[in-house]
A = this chain, B = another copy of it.
Amino acid sequence: MTKTSQEIKFIEGGVCAPRGFRANGIHCGIRKNKSKRDLALIFSETLCNAAAVYTRNIVFGAPITVTKDSLSNGKAKAVVCNSGIANTCNPDGLEKALAMRAITANGLGIAPEDIIIASTGVIGLPLNLEPVENGMKTLVEGLSEGGSDFAAQAIMTTDTRKKEYAVEFTLDGKTCSIGAIAKGSGMICPDMATMLCFMTTDADITLPALQSALTAAVKVSFNMLSIDGDTSTNDMASIMANGLAGNNPVEAGSNDFEVFKNALTALCIKVAREMARDGEGATKLLECIVEGAADDESAGIMAKSVIKSSLVKTAVFGEDANWGRIICAMGYSGVKFDVDKVSISFESEGGKVAVCENGKALNFSEEKAAKVLAKDEIVIRAALNEAKGRAVAFGCDLTYDYVKINGDYRT
Q: Contacts A324-B123, A410-B320 hold; do A57 and B314 have CB atoms under 8 A apart?
A: no
Q: Which of A295-328 contact B (CB under 8 A)?
A: 308-311, 314-315, 317-318, 320-325, 327-328
Judge if A337 is at the interface, Cβ distance under 8 Å.
yes
CA distance A404 to B389 in the complex (A): 35
CB < 8 Å neighbour of A228 from B123, B311, B315 = B311
B-chain residues with CB within 8 Å of residue A325 when the two chains form the complex: 123, 190-191, 230
Stretch at the interface among A86-94, A111-119, A242-250: A86-94
Judge if A48 is at the interface, Cβ distance under 8 Å.
no
CA distance A256 to B107 in the complex (A): 75
B-chain residues with CB within 8 Å of residue A328 when the two chains form the complex: 57, 59, 123, 190-191, 230-233
CB < 8 Å neighbour of A407 from B317, B404, B409, B411 = B317
B-chain residues with CB within 8 Å of residue A1 when the two chains form the complex: none
Determine how close the nearest CB of chain B comes to the CB of A365; give it in whole angstroms. 14
Judge if A188 is at the interface, Cβ distance under 8 Å.
yes
Judge if A110 is at the interface, Cβ distance under 8 Å.
no
Determine how close the nearest CB of chain B comes to the CB of A188; give it in whole angstroms. 7
The 4 closest A-B pairs by CB, nearest first: A123-B324, A318-B407, A59-B331, A314-B406
Determine how close the nearest CB of chain B comes to the CB of A295; give it in whole angstroms. 17
Q: Which of A268-320 contact B (CB under 8 A)?
A: 308-311, 314-315, 317-318, 320
Q: Contacts A58-B331, A311-B230 hold; do A403 and B320 have CB atoms under 8 A apart?
A: no
Q: Contacts A89-B327, A408-B318 hold; do A190 and B124 have CB atoms under 8 A apart?
A: no
Determine whether the beta carbon of B404 is less than 8 Å from that of A400.
yes
Q: A residues touching B (Cβ–Cβ < 8 Å)?
A: 56-60, 86, 88-91, 122-126, 188-191, 228-233, 308-311, 314-315, 317-318, 320-325, 327-332, 336-337, 339, 356, 359-361, 366, 398-400, 402-404, 406-411
Determine whether the beta carbon of A332 is less than 8 Å from that of B230.
yes
CA distance A59 to B406 in the complex (A): 33
CB < 8 Å neighbour of A125 from B189, B230, B361, B402 = B361
CA distance A84 to B400 in the complex (A): 26
Q: Contacts A232-B328, A233-B328, A322-B191 hold; do A310 and B125 have CB atoms under 8 A apart?
A: no
Determine how close the nearest CB of chain B comes to the CB of A187; give it in whole angstroms. 10
CA distance A188 to B398 in the complex (A): 14
B-chain residues with CB within 8 Å of residue A125 when the two chains form the complex: 361
CA distance A324 to B315 in the complex (A): 29
CB < 8 Å neighbour of A400 from B89, B320, B337, B403 = B403
CA distance A348 to B383 in the complex (A): 48
Determine whether the beta carbon of B188 is less than 8 Å from that of A311.
yes
CB < 8 Å neighbour of A190 from B88, B122, B311, B318 = B311
Determine whether the beta carbon of B56 is less than 8 Å from that of A407.
no
A333: nearest chain-B partner, CB-CB: B58
CA distance A231 to B311 in the complex (A): 11
Determine how close the nearest CB of chain B comes to the CB of A17; give it in whole angstroms. 34
CA distance A91 to B393 in the complex (A): 29
Name the residue among A90, A229, A323, A332 with the largest chain B CB count within 10 angstroms: A332
Q: Contacts A88-B324, A89-B360, A90-B360 hold; do A407 and B315 have CB atoms under 8 A apart?
A: yes
CA distance A16 to B122 in the complex (A): 53
Q: Contacts A59-B330, A124-B356, A328-B190 hold; do A318 and B89 have CB atoms under 8 A apart?
A: no
CA distance A327 to B57 in the complex (A): 10
Determine whether the beta carbon of A230 is less than 8 Å from that of B310.
yes
Determine whether the beta carbon of A58 is less than 8 Å from that of B314.
no
- List 7 A–B pairs whose Cβ atoms lie within 8 Å, in order of A's numbering: A58-B339, A88-B324, A190-B332, A191-B322, A310-B406, A318-B407, A402-B403
Q: Contacts A232-B328, A328-B233, A361-B89 hold; do A314 and B402 have CB atoms under 8 A apart?
A: yes
B-chain residues with CB within 8 Å of residue A339 when the two chains form the complex: 58-59
B-chain residues with CB within 8 Å of residue A400 when the two chains form the complex: 400, 403-404
Q: Contacts A328-B59, A331-B233 hold; do A398 and B403 have CB atoms under 8 A apart?
A: yes
